[in-house]
Structure 1
């Protein structure tokens, strides 16, 4: 059975996924001051980070239009869409509108929109799980059921090097940002089941913060031998490899992937940020 997996551009794909014709990406648009940047294959991470650091205003993103999603609904029999958490972006709602409009004219089409309740490599793992089941020849309804169950068991965490974007966006007061900077405090964050962001812990120094995150993986992972451990890094492959090595010393995952953040994930993670999901 033919299938297509559509993801928004907060999904940080592996090189293999980018070459696979089953996957296609619908870009969000990033706004830094007066500059608009389409989060597609032309995205320049280094240039974007420079723009963000120079801007007194926090970067923003705008979601794809329903039409942008509908352009990819033609052709394949089964359509799966994976979006950034609906609590962080309008991308999920836009995809839902696209589905409703498209099914009015094509009522026999199979389309499912997955609110990842995550971001970055959380979306990547959902997309890979869809493909795993589709390649086994499972029926559309069964794949939808199993992928929703898989999503509910995922865990997403991240460590930020720089709190400046949170400060600019008003999510962190100037005083807290200054104190955190002076004391070199790095927050360890996690994604809730509802797709919002909370603080797990904090530490003085990036290595200690990463250590807390690694410890948390060992404590709460279930059936790691059946799971992929995914890491996304923003401009710091060495740090991603450190996290990989420390985790795999303690936990035996089925596989591990490391990817570089594209535009939306770069905006959220900031320079040096590390995102993990399993």
Structure 2
């Protein structure tokens, strides 16, 4: 049985240390400001993205890696005798998975298995990490594909958004909605459902109230969640994310609560101050 290497794209939002520790390959998406194109996580990071948005007043566009990008990433591993399981950004949001599949079709049949995560950010990352741990246990590519296909529909991903500006700039709010929402201090909770982002609820008032609601939503499900791995993800909201992490450690019995930072894709949609919680239901 061939050894298995796990691949994903740059929207997975796991830390560089976790990616390196588990030998996870990453194919970057592209972030474009006008004529300038950058590789997400390689030469474009959230801090630089936010500075460019503040300066130019517009959000960047994002683009999937090309089939050639994927082929260039996959070929060396296959050449070393490895099988590949690739887990990518939801096909409802991007052509990333489609392009990975086109690249896989150029390699010997069965050597690259492409899985649509139906998710984004560490909603992908938690699946990638689960797959990497299974690979380290000696599971085959087929077994890992089956494992991820099973858990992907049980991944819960929710974010509290601190500012409406990025939703407005991204065309998801009208100027009136942005004005009224900002005036009333409305902070949305966004969830991922069937691979797409939806508005789950609106919290009016202080940021602490919104964070508490995010926490209570998770704690209400504590008897149903898989407590092996929980992830708290944030964009320039380290102290709040640490608070959420400590609360989850104290009240869920989770064996591991990871803290990660969002990459450019989720940052460009949600903006600074975003905090998210990701877990898998039993």
Q: Which moved more, 1:174-183 or 1:41-50?
A: 41-50
TM-score (norm 1): 0.91
TM-score (norm 2): 0.90
Is the alpha carbon distance of 1:79 and 1:2 closer, same or farther for their aligned partners in structure 2, counting shifts above 3 Å?
same
Residues in 2 aligned to 1:19 and 1:52: alpha-carbon distance in whole angstroms: 30
**Shift in Å, 1:225:** 5.3
Alignment of 1:128-143 (within 5 A): 128-143=129-144
2:73 matched residue in structure 1: 72
Alpha carbons 1:3, 1:76 under 8 Å: kept: no
**Shift in Å, 1:221:** 4.4
**Shift in Å, 1:33:** 4.0
1:200 matched residue in structure 2: 200
Say whether 1:91 aligns with 2:92: no
Residues in 2 aligned to 1:115 and 1:54: alpha-carbon distance in whole angstroms: 35
Residues in 2 aligned to 1:37 and 1:246: alpha-carbon distance in whole angstroms: 37
**Shift in Å, 1:34:** 4.3
Q: Which moved more, 1:170-179 or 1:220-229?
A: 220-229
Residues in 2 aligned to 1:76 and 1:185: alpha-carbon distance in whole angstroms: 53
Residues in 1 aligned to 2:81 and 2:277: alpha-carbon distance in whole angstroms: 31
Is the alpha carbon distance of 1:66 and 1:222 closer, same or farther for their aligned partners in structure 2, counting shifts above 3 Å?
farther
SS in structure 2 of the partner of residue 243 of structure 1: helix
2:145 matched residue in structure 1: 144
**Shift in Å, 1:201:** 1.3
Alpha carbons 1:33, 1:57 under 8 Å: kept: no
Residues in 2 aligned to 1:55 and 1:76: alpha-carbon distance in whole angstroms: 47
SS in structure 2 of the partner of residue 258 of structure 1: strand
Gap runs ≥5 in structure 1: none
Q: Deviations over 1:161-206 (max 9, x none)?
A: 12112112221111111111111110011100x1011112111222
SS in structure 2 of the partner of residue 199 of structure 1: strand
Residues in 2 aligned to 1:145 and 1:18: alpha-carbon distance in whole angstroms: 22
**Shift in Å, 1:218:** 1.3
SS in structure 1 of the partner of residue 84 of structure 2: strand
Is the alpha carbon distance of 1:268 and 1:222 closer, same or farther for their aligned partners in structure 2, counting shifts above 3 Å?
farther
SS in structure 1 of the partner of residue 120 of structure 2: coil
Gap runs ≥5 in structure 2: none
Is the alpha carbon distance of 1:222 and 1:100 closer, same or farther for their aligned partners in structure 2, counting shifts above 3 Å?
farther
SS in structure 2 of the partner of residue 10 of structure 1: helix
**Shift in Å, 1:223:** 4.6
**Shift in Å, 1:77:** 2.2
2:169 matched residue in structure 1: 168
Q: Deviations over 1:8-30 (max 9, x none)?
A: 11111223323236211111111
Residues in 1 aligned to 2:213 and 2:230: alpha-carbon distance in whole angstroms: 16
In the TM superposition, structure 1's runs of 4+ consecutive aligned residues that sit over 6 Å from their partners are none
**Shift in Å, 1:229:** 0.8
